Amino acid sequence: MNFNDTAEEATFRQEVKDFLDKELPDRFKGTMDRMAGGGGGDMRSRFEEMKGWRKKLADKGWIAAAWPKEYGGAGLGTMEQFIMNEEFAENRAPQVGGMGVSMIGPTLIIHGDDEQKEEHLSRILSGEVQWCQGFSEPESGSDLASLQTKAIRDGDDFVINGSKIWTSGAQYAHWMFMMARTDPDAPKHKGISYFMLDMKSPGVTVRPLVNMAGNSMFNEVFFDNVRVPAKNLVGEENRGWYIGTTTLDFERSSIGSAVGQRLQVDNLINFAREHKDDHKSVLGRHETLHYELADRLLETQVARMLSYRVVTMQNKGLVPNYEASMCKLFSSEMSQRIARTSMKVAGLYGQLLSGTNWAPAKGRYGASYIQTVASTIAGGTSEVQRGIIATRGLGLPKN
């Protein structure tokens, strides 16, 4: 593998660096790192803060840089998009767009009709509309195809009844992209349709779920005879499972986390050097931490190599499958190892969260330790990822 940029890629990388040096507001520097470390904060106020930064990105077409230019993107190729993600991560610069840009937008570009694209894509780019994902259900998490939320055709509408759970940001979202069962007699992977739902529709109830860190990132969403216009059906009725897998491919192929995790470890090493324990640095008092921190740092480089493999495949027009699962599995389990090491470095006071002067690193390590419990569940459990790697990567039998 050639790790060097081509001349064109090097020119683009420098363009991104120059843009960030000139345009990235000081107050946003380190934003990504704080969020990755478990920092809370109100999402709605964060959206407001981002408006000026969003405009600068929009002027260059960099909110959805890989989207075609006719839809408001910059038409960047796979490698240019990767370089941009890498440099944003290295500079700890926040990206905007959320699930609208990363998931439903690309899905609509592939599967949506002209009316749906015209109605939704521009509002995703402007930040006018925030989206959430309605896939998981109380009894259908890892086995998503067993979902039971029903959508029954009634004239020009579908009437939806059921519930979703672990819905990130649903309390702030304007719209949801979701899957519901439209043919209960079909095999479970069939008879599912893909919808866009206005969260202000009568019969939608959102109930935030408070996690162990005291934040409400996730929600339960209930549907009681919610009417969804048939025009909000994406693709063909009863073919939603295959559209949903397109959305998940966009989610699992993201390649920006390895740099962010390396920056977390860099910060942790600096903390261990500088933080005093009985007038001696933590790193100086606990020799075994040298080896553990070295392991974490090496693992972030492994994660980066896995990401390089995915982007190399994408650049060749291939679709990463088990390779993307390898990235997801390694990255999510590594985040838990980084969190455990952070707690060792922080000591007993690391259990404290923000709100007290006694909490090391403003409570970031304690919050990260708690929140990464869910890392191996969200986006597909470790068991699911290992199953994909075993069957599709190693060719092992399913039973």
Which residues carry out catalysis?
Answer: 251
Residue 304 CB neighbour total at 10 angstroms: 17
With both helix axes pointing from N to C terminus, report the angle between 288-315 and 322-346 in degrees, rounded to the nearest 10. 160
Q: What are phi and psi of 225, to 5 degrees?
A: 55, 45
| Amino acid (one-letter) located at 89 | A
The helix (H) or strand (E) run that includes residue 7 is helix 7-23
Residues 6 or more apart whose Cβ sits within 8 Å of residue 129: 100, 120, 123, 174, 175
Terminal CA-CA length for the chain: 36
CA distance 13 to 19: 10
Report whether 178 contacts 134 (CB < 8 A).
Answer: yes
Residue 154 has which token pair?
């009634």
Rounded CA separation 213/217 (Å): 10
Nearest by Cα to 322 from 260, 384, 378? 384
Determine whether 355 is exposed, middle or buried from the number of CB atoms within 10 Å of its CB (0-12, 13-18, 19+).
Answer: exposed
Phi-psi region of 378 (alpha: psi -120 to 50; beta: other; left: phi over 0): beta
Q: What is the amino acid identity at position 134?
A: G
Asked whether the beta carbons of 217 and 170 are under 8 A apart, the reply is no
Task: State the Cα–Cα distance between residues 183 and 172, nearest whole angstrom.
Answer: 31
